[in-house]
Amino acid sequence: MASTSESDKPSVSNVEENRSRLCDEFAEITGTDSAVAQCYLAENEWEMERALNSFFEADLEKVFEVEEFPWGDASPKAKRQKADEKQAVDCIDLTEDSPASTCKPSEEDDGKLSLISWNVDGLDTDNLAERARGLCSYLVLYTPDVVFLQELIPPYVQYLKKRAVSYLIIEGGDDGYFTGIMLKRSRVKLLESETVTYPTTQMMRNLLVAQVDFKGQRICLMTSHLESCKGHAGERMKQLRVVMQRMKEAPDNVTVLFGGDTNLRDTEVAKVGLPSSVCDVWEQLGKQEHCRYTWDTKTNNNKTVPYVSRCRFDRVYLRPATMEEVPRLVPDHMALVGLEKLDCGRYTSDHWGIYCSFSAR
């Protein structure tokens, strides 16, 4: 058997460079640091997916249990105040429309559809309970018909199921981290759902699809968290092609809405190309500058990074139904949500959420 020549072996510098890159990617995905990344990767023979699976197997149930009662040895007066605050928070009943919703009865009457898409950064367990309560506060404020969520973890979903009882929650996974779709029970009826796998993902990513009925209209809802990190542009564009193909091939009587953390750069979208029937909602609404950056380390300091990064990672795409007899959904409003700091001094997520509304014409 021929022996392997020295020239065939990867050089030490190449191995170190590759492992350093893997550590950076692992740390970015999990919100940890290079030391944690190196530990998990080394234990899993430097295979990214195995290392991620190992990391996400950790028991996170206690995150909420601990943060729900962070009072320590506070004085009796402080304890009573905190208890009153907690009771007030827990009394938010998402089974009922919030008082804020009474300000927009016309939207209820004319068939407007509203949605929020948000990477909630469940992988960051610091202040996670308060941040999850922050998400629920936005649900009460905006009462969206549909919610697309990315970077959910099991205890976060369990928390939402207890608090957001007016919503049906569809999960894109059951361990690690995954996406989810929430449907307002009084407005949106689930017909069926499926999870579409990305065959070559290294980061446990997929496409979550839900077929729903909204006031007699058939709508296909889709969310995804496309591959992260600059070095995975090729895989990310593969995944975008899957999304666009599904949108393009949907029946003529079906409206298709996609929202999620795409991690896309404009150059990547240009290379893939959008079908003529699909529009980028932000662009359709005039590329409003105040809605451009959904990942903005200049303002959002949830992640401590030594650089300023402002990107439009989170996007919403629409393919209206083309059949004449079917109402055509048209975007009429977009805003960023989650811009206010919570009492803990942090934001609900390291991403801003996107709120959109659509009118039927």
Among the options 261, 296, 314, 350, which is catalytic? 261
Give the span between the Cα atoms of 318 and 320, in whole angstroms: 6
Contact yes or no for 94/163 (Cβ under 8 A): yes
Residue 175 among the catalytic residues:
no
226's tokens: 């496309």
Give the span between the Cα atoms of 305 and 317, in whole angstroms: 30
Angle of CA points 62, 67, 69, to nearest 5°: 105
E strand map for the chain = 113-119, 146-152, 167-171, 178-184, 188-197, 206-214, 217-225, 254-261, 279-280, 295-296, 310-311, 314-319, 329-337, 353-360
Tell which residue, 211, 271, 213, 284, has the closest CA to residue 244.
Answer: 271
Antiparallel, parallel or unpaired: β 353-360 and 329-337: antiparallel
Percent of residues in the chain assigned helix, strand, coil, to nearest 5: 35, 25, 40
CA distances from 165 to 97, 145, 158, 354 (A): 12, 13, 11, 22
Q: Is 319 helix (H, G, I), strand (E, B) or coil?
A: strand
CB within 8 Å of 284: residues ≥ 6 apart: 318, 331
Tell which residue, 133, 178, 155, has the closest CA to residue 63.
Answer: 155
Tell which residue, 350, 359, 278, has the closest CA to residue 118.
Answer: 350
Give the span between the Cα atoms of 203 and 50, in whole angstroms: 10
CA distances from 287 to 193, 243, 293, 312, 319 (A): 32, 22, 11, 11, 18
| Terminal Cα-to-Cα distance of the chain (whole angstroms) | 72
Active site residues: 261
